[in-house]
A and B are shown apart, each in its own frame.
Chain A
């Protein structure tokens, strides 16, 4: 009973952290001479107030969820992927290229190939820092941040040059964008809103990632490496390989998020020169959603919807009470800080539980025998 209560408490920690962030946000609003209740009401109403606004929330939640799924994989492998922005961009570039190059094929085929290309592009962009970490000991946080910057410039270069919309190439404005995808390549809409099939794909993949992490050897090994690289090495797991896999898969999901943004929402790529101009900072906000969802793919679904709602609600908050939507970035930052800070209570209670009941099954730390058992089960 006590352990069930504390499990509940663990699950509530991120919620408490978010409430704390909202409270700090309310104080800030007071300093800005804005009524926080009015502001948050505008936010809620903007996100859930109508069928349309809820659909919009889901549209915003889709890339967050896909990025978050990748983050679940990499963070559980103890690899910190900050490169979601760049991975989204590269995935989107590759997917867009497919759709603009192969125009004589059936729509479903090209869309599928394009999304796979996005997956692949993200995998490459995540795999490079993975290899650098696993085999050259380069800190992945730094390399993924650098890869973000490189991806942005690559996008700007391609969209101003080789991939520019032919209609823009000849006119003076030269808006840096690609041509529009053919209608038959676009992801189908789910309702008479902007909600598209990408949302369903993302939810389906959340289940798959759950299975990957807890029901396959690959997922098991990624988690084992994340929890105890030394024991894993001792048990014969090739640690570097699974570090690379964790980052590569993480990047792949972000790449898919980028591809789905193009095929489901914008139907073309356009740049304002910055990463967030294309991604809407989903590469960062996906991290927030994943942390909120306790790095669990299924819990990441409601978490992504929550943060999607914040993003949509922020716009109406800006309109109605003139609070810049940048407030949401502030709140996201606070949520991250509060969630990682609150981990200490979970760890403390876990330790106390272990001390109190040593015969109880220990925390899911892969002790060596368990690892070996699993390893032996493999051919």
Chain B
């Protein structure tokens, strides 16, 4: 049975679903990269994703319009981001703990709305694979890279965009300055609060899309707590990726590939206890954090509220 794992079709299957499964990690982790770069640890990602998941699914299910679903998820994520920004920027609340508060809020709220508005698990016809003439027909590679749906492509497109914005634009410079040395940025006339509001809301919006990608592009259902820790992993991926979009991409792929492998191991019935297989990505995260974190430096002002010295 182990040999089956190495047949071409299975390998292609593992890689193709690995590429696909990286989608929610990418949206959420790239969004989190922005907020952490500006000095804010948003631990509420999981809650934002869950609400995004539900909003996207519910709107898509009732209106039949998938894009409206994505929009709903973005709005929900942005509103939660706005609340998070107010609490951490204006009220200087401890970021880690308030993030847990937002997580509990999203967890409970998505469950509550699901039970009140739907009650039963339904399915929706989510975003379909896009056929790209020529590219999709390339044997192997076509199946892996060019046979995915639009939200998957969007996630990968986000990586170079984030890199460009963070490194090549004035906005990116401001974000990095606010995260590294808010006092200096402030004295140069950059509004620390404005920049942080922007990044936290952007992070929330992208977390919402991450949720939408789960419920209307990848799994096409909504269930209580369906993210099951994915949002927390996305936060870990930012550390993993050393606060660089490309690093985040690497981490997301590593994670999703291990996940995909684990799923295929179960599908093929290879006698590895599935619980142990599911455990592996988490063990991997801890090991990778140990290996990388001590080598790279976090943004200096991460988790520190900014207050002007009077």
User: Using a CB–CB distance below 8 Å, which chain A residues touch chain B?
Assistant: 28, 32, 80, 82, 132, 136-139, 141-143, 145-150, 153-154, 156-157, 160-161, 274, 284, 287-288, 291, 323-324, 326-337, 340-341, 343-344, 347
B109, chain A: closest CB distance, angstroms: 5
B91 interface residue (CB < 8 Å to A): yes
Is B294 a contact of A136 with CB atoms below 8 Å? yes
**How many chain B residues touch A (Cβ–Cβ < 8 Å)?**
47
- Are B47 and A333 within 8 A (Cβ)? yes
- Please report which residues of chain B, range 275-298, place their CB below 8 angstroms from some CB of chain A when the two chains form the complex: 275-276, 278-279, 282-283, 285-286, 289-290, 293-294
Residues in B with CB closer than 8 Å to A136 are: 290, 293-294
Distance in Å: Cβ of A21 to nearest Cβ of chain B: 10
Any A CB within 8 A of the CB of B43: yes
Q: Report B-chain residues with C-beta under 8 Å of the C-beta of A32.
A: 112, 116
- Tell whether, in the assembled complex, residue B232 and residue A284 are in contact, meaning their CB atoms are under 8 Å apart: no
Q: Please, which residue of chain B has its CB at the minimum distance from the CB of A33?
A: B116
Supposing A136-B290, A139-B239, A157-B275 touch, asked if A337 and B92 sit within 8 A by C-beta, the answer is no
Chain B residues whose CB sits within 8 angstroms of the CB of A291 once the complex forms: 97
State which of B100, B235, B275 has its C-beta within 8 Å of the C-beta of A336: B100
Q: Which residues of B contact A347 (CB under 8 A)?
A: 92
Given A141, A156, A157, A160, which contacts B43 in the complex, CB threshold below 8 Å? A141
A150 to B277 alpha-carbon distance, docked (Å): 10
Could you say which of A157, A327, A333, A344 contacts B103, with CB atoms under 8 Å apart? Answer: A333
B189 proximal to A (CB < 8 A): no
Are A143 and B278 within 8 A (Cβ)? no
Cβ of B105 within 8 Å of any chain A Cβ, yes or no, is: yes
How would you classify the secondary structure of chain A's contact residues: helix, strand, loop or mixed? helix
Chain A residues, CB < 8 A from B104? 284, 288, 329-330, 332-333, 336
Q: Are A336's CB and B285's CB within 8 A?
A: no
In contact, A336 and B229 (Cβ under 8 angstroms):
no
The answer on a CB contact under 8 Å between A340 and B290 is no
| CB closest chain-A residue, reference B229 | A149
How many A-B pairs with Cβ below 8 Å? 146
CA distance A325 to B127 in the complex (A): 33
Q: Which residue of A lies closest to B285 (CB)?
A: A146
User: Which residues in A have their C-beta under 8 angstroms from that of B134?
Assistant: none
Q: Is B149's beta carbon under 8 Å from chain A?
A: no
Q: A287-B97, A336-B101 are in contact. List 10 more A-B contacts (CB 8 A).
A: A32-B116, A142-B236, A153-B279, A156-B275, A326-B112, A330-B108, A332-B104, A337-B105, A340-B98, A344-B92
**A60 → B minimal CB distance (Å):** 17
Chain A residues within 8 Å of B289, by CB = 132, 138-139, 142-143
Residues of chain A within 8 A of B96, CB atoms compared: 80, 82, 141
Contact, CB under 8 Å: B101 / A340: yes
Contact B290 A138 (CB under 8 A): yes
Q: Are A343 and B93 in contact (CB under 8 A)?
A: yes
Please give, as numbers and ranges, the residues of chain A lying within 8 Å of B92 by CB-CB distance: 343-344, 347
| Contact residues in B for A333 (Cβ distance below 8 Å) | 47, 101-109
Cα(A136)–Cα(B298), bound, Å:
14
B112 adjacent to A145 (CB under 8 Å) = no
**List of B residues within 8 angstroms of A147 by Cβ:** 282, 286
Question: In the assembled complex, which residues on chain A have CB atoms less than 8 Å from the CB atom of B43?
Answer: 141
B41 nearest CB neighbor, chain A only = A141
Q: Say yes or no: is B225 at the interface (Cβ < 8 Å to chain A).
A: yes
Identify the closest chain A residue to B302 (Cβ). A139
**Residue in chain B with minimal CB distance to A327:** B112
B108/A153 in contact, CB under 8 A: no
> Whole-angstrom distance from the CB of A20 to the nearest CB of chain B?
13
CB-CB < 8 A to B94: which residues of A? 340, 343
Residues of A within 8 A of B93 (CB): 337, 340-341, 343-344
Q: Which of B111, B236, B276, B283 contacts A329 (CB 8 A)?
A: B111
Check A340 against B87 for contact (C-beta < 8 Å). Answer: yes
B97 pairs with A145, CB closer than 8 A: no
- B275 in contact with A132 (CB, 8 Å): no
* 10 residue pairs bridging A and B, Cβ less than 8 Å apart: A82-B96, A138-B293, A153-B278, A153-B282, A157-B275, A326-B115, A329-B112, A334-B105, A341-B87, A344-B91
Beta-carbon nearest neighbor of A24 in chain B: B105
Is A138 a contact of B286 with CB atoms below 8 Å? yes
Q: With both chains docked as a complex, state the minimum distance between the C-beta of B220 and any C-beta of chain A, in angstroms.
A: 21
Of chain B, the residue at the smallest CB distance from A157 is: B275
Assembly CA distance A146 to B225 (angstroms): 16
Please name the 8 residue pairs, one residue from A and one from B, whose CB atoms are nearest each other, closest first: A329-B108, A336-B101, A333-B104, A333-B105, A330-B108, A337-B101, A326-B111, A157-B275
Q: Which residues of A contact B98 (CB under 8 A)?
A: 336-337, 340-341
Q: Is the Cβ of A340 less than 8 Å from the Cβ of B97? A: yes
Query: Which residues in B have their C-beta under 8 angstroms from that of A160?
Result: 273, 275
* Residues of B220-251 contacting chain A, CB below 8 A: 224-225, 228-229, 232, 235-236, 239
Chain B residues lying within 8 Å of A82, measured Cβ to Cβ, are 96, 100
Which B residues are CB-close (under 8 A) to A161? Answer: 273
Cross-interface CB contact of A153 among B116, B275, B294, cutoff 8 Å: B275
Complex alpha-carbon distance, A347 and B91, angstroms = 11
Also in contact, A145 and B229, with CB within 8 A (given A333-B103, A337-B93, A344-B93): yes
B275 and A327 within 8 A (CB): no
Q: How far is the CA of A196 from the CA of B239 in the complex (A)?
A: 44
Q: Across the interface, do B91 and A146 meet the contact criterion of CB distance under 8 Å?
A: no
Q: Are A330 and B87 also in contact (CB < 8 A) when A324-B115, A337-B98 are? A: no
A142 contacts B87, C-beta separation under 8 Å: no
CA distance A333 to B103 in the complex (A): 7
| Chain A residues, CB < 8 A from B236 | 142, 145-146
